[in-house]
Amino acid sequence: MDIRLAQTFLEIMSSGSFLVAAKTLHISQTAATARIKNLEEQLGTQLFIRNRNGAKLTSDGERFVEHARRLVNTWKEAQAALAHPAEEPQTVTIGVESSLWNPIATDMVNQLYLQKSNLKMHVEVAESEALHRYLHDQTLDVLILHSPQYHSQLEVELLLEEKLIHVASSKRFEPNLFINWGNDFLQKFDASLTTPKQTGLSCNLGPLALKIMLETGGNGYFRTRVVKPYLDTGELYKVSDTQEFSYPIFITRNKNNSNPILPEVLNATRAITQEQTEWLI
């Protein structure tokens, strides 16, 4: 059906006059009459009763009103959609070191989805060496990690300064908990020998050691942002006269990466590191 027939029908219904409707639609009264006649023939029923006072809907005309409105609205929506075709979805792949999934990775993903409704994203959580392999293979667009590799094809940016500090439980100092925060930390720790090497527990997962320390006691090295809430409440305290270790967070990407969404990913990552978000690891 010609959508102009439904538009003419609604205009006559609204104005109550074939003449007024014709002027509004910038057509002749004869053309308006012809359109309604065509519409009535297609529907097989009379839609208007014409008299000296104008035009009045028949009972079938009243029943057709909602259908006509839906037809016209659907046509307008189709015109708008085709005038502004949907954008092609943008894709980005992000590598995050295991200890940084919360809050950096979670907050970054949330913020990007709020900004870009057509974004397709893959987040790979792994250790540093595996992430660098994926970056080299161009499987990943960008890495967020503690231990970046440096060479001429990579661009490395300092995202956030962080420290590992020696803290202990207010319940009891023992046992010694040793968390492996990576090769760089191991070398610095061995060189300083700040605490006895003998430990009651050694692991490479900070949350595990922290949970044990909070529940049963102990001491060890943890990230400043993670233990700050417990230092504030007095559950933990900072061990005096002990070495602190730098543990910064970096963004790494290939210099020749031309993914157009990458600048927005980087900006979102920078933004969330400035927020006072609770760190859980």
Which range of residues forms the domain containing residue 153? 90-161+248-273
Q: Please check whether residue 278 lies inside any domain of the structure.
A: no
The CATH number of the domain where 156 resides is what? Answer: 3.40.190.10
The model's pLDDT over 210-234, given as tens digits with 9 standing for 90+, comes to 999 999 999 999 999 889 999 999 9
Task: Label residue 121 by pLDDT band (50, 70, 90).
Answer: confident
> Do 65 and 19 fall into the same domain?
yes
pTM over 0.85: no
> Do 7 and 27 fall into the same domain?
yes
Per the prediction, the chain carries an average pLDDT of 87
**Residues above pLDDT 70, as percent of the chain:** 94
Q: How many domains does the chain have?
A: 3
Q: Please check whether residue 280 lies inside any domain of the structure.
A: no
Beta carbons of 236 and 167 less than 8 angstroms apart: yes
The CATH number of the domain where 35 resides is what? Answer: 1.10.10.10
> Do 78 and 98 fall into the same domain?
no
Q: Please check whether residue 279 lies inside any domain of the structure.
A: no
Residue 204 to residue 36: CA distance in whole angstroms: 79
Q: Please check whether residue 10 lies inside any domain of the structure.
A: yes
Q: Please check whether residue 20 lies inside any domain of the structure.
A: yes
Residue 222 to residue 281: CA distance in whole angstroms: 9
> Do 132 and 145 fall into the same domain?
yes
Q: Is residue 270 predicted with pLDDT exceeding 60?
A: yes
Beta carbons of 72 and 44 less than 8 angstroms apart: no
pLDDT computed for residue 277 by the predictor: 54
> Do 263 and 156 fall into the same domain?
yes
Query: How far from the centroid of its chain's Cα atoms is residue 79's Cα?
Result: 30
The model's pLDDT over 45-79, given as tens digits with 9 standing for 90+, comes to 999 999 888 899 999 999 999 999 999 989 888 88
> Do 8 and 39 fall into the same domain?
yes
Q: Please check whether residue 7 lies inside any domain of the structure.
A: yes
Q: Is residue 85 predicted with pLDDT exceeding 70?
A: no
> Do 102 and 145 fall into the same domain?
yes
Q: Please check whether residue 281 lies inside any domain of the structure.
A: no
Q: Is residue 194 predicted with pLDDT exceeding 80?
A: no
